[in-house]
Amino acid sequence: MVSRSPLPLLLMGLLASCTGAVGQTGAGGDGEGTGGSGRVGGGGTGTGGATPGGGTSGTGSAPGLVLDGTPIFSGYVRLTHDQWENSVRDLLQLPAVSGLSSTFTSDPPGSTFTNNESRLYVTSGLWSDYQGAAETLSQQVARDATALSRVTGGTTVAATFIRNFGRRAYRRDLTTDEEAKYGALFTSAAAMFNSGNAFADGVQLVIETMLKSPYFIYRMESAATGQPLSGYEMASKLSFLLRNTMPDATLLDAAKAGGLNTADGIATQAQTMLDAMPARTVFQRFHAELFEIDRYRSMEKDQAVFPKFNATMAADLETADLQLFDYLYGQGLGFKDLLQTQVAFVNQTTAPLYGMTATGTTFKQVALGADRPGYFTRAGFLAYFGTLREPDPIRRGVGIIRGVFGATDFAPPAGVVIPPLPDFVAGQTNRQRVDAATGPGTCGASCHGQFINPLGFAFERFDALGQARTMDHGQPIDTAGAYPFADGAKSFDGAPALMTLLASQAQTHQTYAAHLAEFVLARDIAEADRGFVNTLGAASLSASSIKQLALAVIKSPAFTTRGKQ
C-alpha cells in the first residue's frame, strides 16, 4: 500500500469504542446481498479514537494525506504475469500470448497495483511454473519449422542465434563469457535430445535455459544507490511500464548508443512511448486497478426490481468505464476531467440506464449533461455500490473515500457486531433509514455521520442500478451534506456540486498524484516522497494531464536513479 489517508485509523479508533455499529454488507445491503468489498462499520461516541495528527476523531477536520508505504527499492523486480506473457510472445515471435500464465501461482494481495514490487517475488510454486512453461515453449518453437525460422531470424549459425536471441531475452548484450557458456550448452543439446536435428536441439535448450534465467524473469537495477540506471536498465524500465512488455530492437539500439543516458534522451523516448497506443492501455489499467472495476462482475440485483440486469450488463458497465479511462488519457485530460467530464460510453444494453437509446453492442461516445459529471456518476460505480434494490449511501461514501481520499482498510476490529440496516418504516426515505441507524445521536455518528454518509447521500438521486430518480419512496430526495477536508469543512448539495468540490481540492489531487507515482515507480510511496507528491499534486490541480503527470514522474530522479536500499 502506497499512499493512504489516515481515515482508516481514524475510523478504526471509532469502531473500537462502538458496541453495535451498523453497516451494510456486500451488494445486497438489506441483509440479502452477496459479493462486494466487505462491511463498513459505524463510528463511536465522538470523543475517542485519536488521529495520527493528534486531537480526536469526533470533531474538527480530517487530516491530510498520509504517505506510510514501505518501499523495498528492489534491484530485482519480477515481471508481472502479463509482462511475462507479452515478453514471451514478443521474444519467441508468437502470433498471440501463450496463456500459460493463467495457471501460474497467483500474486498475493497487498497493493493497489499489480506492478508493485512488493507483490512480485518468486515462490517455489511459481518457480516450478516458470520451469514447466520454459520447457513447453522451447519445445513448441524448436520443433515447428516455421516458428524455428522466425525465432532464429533464418540463421543456422549457433553463435549468431545466441548473440541475437540473448540480447533480446536479457534486454542487453551478452558478455563474452555468457556467449561462450551458451555456445557450449548449445553443442551439448544434441546428445541430450538426440532428435537428429542438432541445430533445433541447441535452439531448444538455449531458449529453455534463458526463459528460466533471472535475467529474463526479473527487471534488474544494478546501479549503486543514488546513481543513474544504465541505458539498458532504463530501456527495460520504460518498456515494461509504458508497453507492458520487453524493449524492442529500436529501444535497445537507443540504449546501446547512449540515447538513454541523459535526462533529455529519456524524456524524448518516454514522450514517444506515452503518445503511442500501448501506453493508453497501460493507463487504462492504472485506473481500472485504482477503482477496482473488475468487481462489477460480482454484481447482483433483484430481478423483480431490475428485470433487465444480467451478467452481460455488468460486463458492459466495466467495458464502458474502461473506454472512459482510455478517452481521458487519449484526449490529454487529467484528474479534474475524471471527476467532471460529461462524456460516457454506451451501447444498447447500458444506454437505457441514462435515459438514452442505442443499437448494437458496440459502444458509442455520448454526453450525459451537467447532472452526471465524472466517473463517479457513471452507472458502473453507482450500481456496484448499490444493494439488490436500493442505493447504498454507506458503500458509495466508502467508494469515494477509497478512490479519492486513498483510505483502504475498513474492516471492523474483532468483536464489533455490524448488523444490516433495519427495514424501512412507512414513509421513510433511504437517507432517513441510514441516518436513523448511523447518523446523529447514534453510535455511528462520528464516522458515518461525519465522513461516510455525507459523501454517499450526494448520490441519492441515482437508484441501485445508477438510474436517475426524482423521488424516494414517495418522498423528496435530500442530497445536501458537508465533508471535513484537511483545510476545513465544506458544504455541497448533490453529486455535481460534490464533484466540483473534489476537483478543486489540493488534498484530492495529492492523493491522485501519490497513486500515479506508485504505479509509475512500481513501488510504495513513503513520507520521503512527500515533496515530490505535493509538486505533482499541484500540477494536477493546475490541470496537468495524466500523460504530463506520468512524464513528470519518469523524468524525476525517483525513476531514473537507483532508489535507497
The string of DSSP letters for 433-502 reads: HHHHHHSTTSTTIIIIIIIIHHHHHTTTTB-TTS-B-SEETTEE---EEEEEETTEEEEEESHHHHHHHH
Is residue 400 packed enough to be buried (19+ CB in 10 Å), middle (13-18) or exposed (0-12)? buried
Instruction: Give CA–CA dist 495/490, Å, rounded.
Output: 14
Handedness of CA 528, 224, 252, 163 (dihedral sign): negative
What is the pLDDT averaged over residues 470-497?
A: 95
Instruction: Give CA–CA dist 471/485, Å, rounded.
Output: 30
φ/ψ (deg, to 5) at 364: -125, 155
- Residue 456: other Cβ atoms inside 10 A: 27
In this predicted structure, the answer to whether residue 6 has a pLDDT above a threshold of 50 is no
pLDDT at 266: 97
- Residue 272: other Cβ atoms inside 10 A: 14
- Residue 426: other Cβ atoms inside 10 A: 6
pLDDT at 465: 98
pLDDT in tens, 184-211: 999 999 999 999 999 999 999 999 999 9
Three-state secondary structure of 401-451: HHHHHCCCCCCCCCCCCCCCCCCCCCCCCHHHHHHHHHCCCCCCHHHHHHH
In this predicted structure, the answer to whether residue 30 has a pLDDT above a threshold of 80 is no
Which letter does DSSP use for residue 525 in this model?
-
Instruction: Give CA–CA dist 553/535, Å, rounded.
Output: 11
pLDDT at 55: 29
For cell 520451469, name the residue.
Answer: 131
Proportion of the chain above pLDDT 90, given as a percent: 79
On average, the pLDDT of the chain sits at 88
Residue type, 478: D
Q: Does residue 365 contact residue 327 with C-beta atoms inside 8 Å?
A: yes
Closest CA to 141 of 154, 133, 150: 150
pLDDT in tens, 371-408: 999 999 999 999 999 999 999 999 999 999 999 998 76
Q: Who has greater pLDDT, 24 or 556?
A: 556
Which letter does DSSP use for residue 292 in this model?
T
Strands 218-220 vs 76-78: parallel, antiparallel or unpaired: antiparallel
Instruction: Give CA–CA dist 378/471, Å, rounded.
Output: 19
What DSSP line would sit under 330-369, residue for residue?
A: HTT--HHHHHH--EEEE-TTTGGGGT----SSS-EEEE--
H helix or E strand, kind and range, residue 220: strand 218-220
Instruction: Give CA–CA dist 292/102, Å, rounded.
Output: 20
pLDDT in tens, 321-365: 999 999 999 999 999 999 999 999 999 999 999 999 999 999 999
pLDDT at 408: 64
Which letter does DSSP use for residue 386 in this model?
B
Q: Which residues contact 376 (CB under 8 A, 6 or more apart)?
A: 339, 382, 399, 400, 403, 459, 495, 499
For cell 497467483, name the residue.
Answer: 106
Query: Which segment of 61-65, 383-387, 477-481 scores lowest on mean pLDDT?
Result: 61-65
> 9 by DSSP, 3-state: which?
helix
Confidence band, pLDDT 50/70/90 cuts, at residue 5: very low
In this predicted structure, the answer to whether residue 49 has a pLDDT above a threshold of 60 is no
Q: Does residue 561 contact residue 227 with C-beta atoms inside 8 Å?
A: yes
Predicted model pTM: 0.90
- Residue 522: other Cβ atoms inside 10 A: 24
What is the pLDDT averaged over residues 449-469?
A: 96
Closest CA to 326 of 277, 381, 291: 277
Q: Does residue 242 contact residue 270 with C-beta atoms inside 8 Å?
A: yes
What is the pLDDT averaged over residues 96-102?
A: 98
